[in-house]
Amino acid sequence: MPFLILLVAVIFLPMMELSVLMQVGDVIGTFNTVALVILTAVVGISLVKSQGLNTLMAVQRKLAQGEAPGQEIVEGMLLALAGILLVIPGFVTDFVGVIFLTPFCRAVIAKFLYKRMQLRVVMAPKHRRPPFAEPPRQDKDSVIDGEYEHKPDPSDKRPESHQLPNDDDKRP
């Protein structure tokens, strides 16, 4: 599946972009086509910036409420992808970028992707530990590192001369 996506992205997408650019250029002219491609990139980047700030504020709100901002993070990734697609010259990538930029479409796509990511985490093999999980504790081999100080016990009835010398007592 990843190979197929890479094949489409590297071979067929540029071919589609060139075909659409040539057809649009025949209809509205070369100069107008180039101006339209530059205009979509500029407008798209400004929209990605404003939408990205809104998404960042939504992430901060979720964190302040103590909730996990999973879907908002996926929406942020889709916005970054939309920015990349809008900068690439061509109308097909601009169309996909605008779909990712539209809040309703982006929310639906992000929800789908987030649920799919959650499903993959749940369906992970049982014998493997998650990558960021703490290693299992081994109580029988545990070592506790620390410092101690010997203090005389006040309930001890022995005379003071029989008690062990303290480190603070530096007698010559």
Q: Per-residue DSSP letters for 2-52?
A: HHHHHHIIIIIHHHHHHHHHHHHHHHH-HHHHHHHHHHHHHHHHHHHHHHH
Position 145 scores a pLDDT of: 73
Q: Which residue in this structure is represented by tokens 């001369």?
A: 161
CA count, 13 A, side-chain hemisphere, 102: 9
Q: Which residues of 44-58 are buried (b: 16+ CB within 10 A; e: fewer)?
A: beebbeebbeebeeb
**pLDDT-derived band of residue 19, with 50, 70 and 90 as boundaries?**
very high
pLDDT at 163 over 70: no
69 touches 62 (CB < 8 A): yes
Pick from 78, 80, 85, 86: nearest CA to 43 = 86
Q: pLDDT digits over 67-88, tens only? A: 888 888 888 899 989 988 888 8
Q: Please determine, for residue 66, whether its predicted confidence score (pLDDT) is greater than 70.
A: yes
45 contacts 86 by C-beta, under 8 angstroms: yes
Q: Say whether pLDDT at 61 is over 90.
A: no
Higher-confidence residue of 167 and 43: namely 43
The total of other beta-carbon atoms located within 10 Å of residue 144's CB is 4
Structure tokens at 46: 């400004």
The pTM score is 0.62
Q: Is the pLDDT of residue 31 over 90?
A: yes
Rounded to an integer, the average pLDDT of 135-157 is: 70
Contact 75, 106 (CB under 8 A): yes
Whether the predicted pLDDT of 24 surpasses 60: yes
Arithmetic mean of pLDDT over the chain: 80
